[in-house]
Amino acid sequence: MEKHGYRFSFGPWNIHEGADPFGPTVRPTVAFAAKLATLKNLGFDAMQFHDDDAVPNLDSVSPEGMLHQANAVRQMLEDNGLFAEFVAPRLWEHPMTIDGAFTSNDPAARTYAIERSKKAADIGRELGCNLMVLWLAREGTYIREAKDAVLATHRLLEAVNTLLDYDPELRIVIEPKPNEPMDLAYIPTIGHALSLGMQSSDPVRVGALVESAHAILAGLDPADEMSFALAFDRLWSVHLNDQNGLKFDQDKAFGAVDLRRAFNQVRVLDENSFWEKGVVGLDVKAMRTQPAELATKHLRNSLHTFLRLLEVVRSLDRAKMDELIMARDYEELDWLVVDALLGTR
């Protein structure tokens, strides 16, 4: 589709070795440069980054070494006509973050989390992007009595404020998820993410990222979660994917489970000119059964599904829909949508 106006991204972790909690890797590691080439060849515009995707071994690199490495990555991006969408501090792998990062009961762990996030902000600056994603992976508990939830909420707010203060150009997007790796997380929905942002020291610099699967895991509709953030002009990124009900976070290709649910996400994004506001990001995993040379089709499929659904959205007969809404003939409206999704015979 020509002239759709959208820009697309995925993260290096979306081309992966295929390990799961019950089995080892099944594909070789792909070098960052090769992932970048795939990104470009598939028609994407931007790369998403964890801090250590840009600067491996971040915890043991000197500050100058960190900036030097980040700069080399920026050069690679520029050479390929690409850009960095965001940098996210990876606060869930280091032993210090075993019981959470900003909400850990251990003050040394909380300090580590703040210092690590400041490094992520510095890397972002060096990559030429001021967007930081906070996926609050371990900010929750395995048992509810382990932490004070009121205190944890204050600690999250304090962390957001510290980062806003550290870099006056930084914009933060909170990516909520209700569970996994924790039993229960403190910021499970967009409502939680946005209330935290509104309480911060600079609310215009805190927005949200909706991941389709995370909304579904919270028992919510991703398009409605997006709409809530759009209503306050706070939807600055999305992680499109799909999820087959309430189980582990599957990160299936966008639209692979429920095409109509995917259609409605594209519809609300397009009705609210999301192409002017942010990049359409994917967060999808290849099936473990795919051999290495075929393990990027989940990215291709997701992008194509978005573009095909965009065609459907833009071809809808809006006058007819308004008429049906006014007449409250929702069965006919239902058919109009289903018929459009089924395509021509």
User: Which residues sit at the interface with Mg ion, rule CB under 5 A?
Assistant: 211, 239, 283
- 317 in Cβ contact with 272 (< 8 Å): no
Nearest to 340 by CA among 318, 306, 313, 321: 313
Q: Could you say which residues in the range 28-57 bind ligand GLO, by CB under 6 A?
A: 50
Which of 52, 53, 242, 249 touches ligand GLO (CB under 6 A)? 249
Angle formed by the axes of helices 330-342 and 259-271, nearest 10°: 100
Residue 119 interacting partner from Mg ion, ligand GLO, none (CB closer than 5 to 8 Å by kind): none
From the list Mg ion, ligand GLO, none, pick the one residue 123 interacts with, judged by a Cβ distance below 5 to 8 Å according to partner type.
none
**283 touching ligand GLO, by CB under 6 A:** yes
Strands, E assignment, 196-261: 206-211, 235-240
Closer to ligand GLO by Cβ: residue 242 or 283? 283
Catalytically annotated residues = 50, 53
Phi, psi of 240 (to 5 degrees): -80, 135
For residue 41, what are the contacts with CB-CB under 8 A and spacing of at least 6? none
Torsion on CA atoms 21, 25, 27, 29, rounded to nearest 10: 110
State the minimum distance, in angstroms, from the CB of residue 311 to ligand GLO.
Answer: 27
What separation in angstroms does the CA of 261 have from each of 21, 253, 255, 268, 309? Answer: 28, 13, 7, 11, 11
Q: What is the pattern of x (binds ligand GLO, CB under 6 A) and - over residues 154-193? A: ---------------------x-x----------------
Contact partner, 16, from Mg ion, ligand GLO, none, Cβ < 5-8 Å per class: none
239 interacts with ligand GLO by CB under 6 A: yes
As a whole number of angstroms, the distance between CA 37 and CA 141 comes to 39
Q: Which is nearer to ligand GLO, 139 or 175 (CB)?
A: 175
Pick from ligand GLO, Mg ion, none: which does 133 bind, CB < 5 to 8 A by kind? ligand GLO
- Of 122, 49, 52, 141, whose CA–CA distance to 93 is shortest? 52
By a kind-dependent CB cut-off of 5 to 8 A, residue 249 interacts, out of Mg ion, ligand GLO, none, with: ligand GLO
User: Is residue 211 part of the contact set for ligand GLO (CB under 6 A)?
Assistant: yes
The tokens describing 40, both together, are 């470009």
Contact positions toward ligand GLO, by CB under 6 A? 50, 88, 133, 135, 175, 177, 211, 239, 249, 283
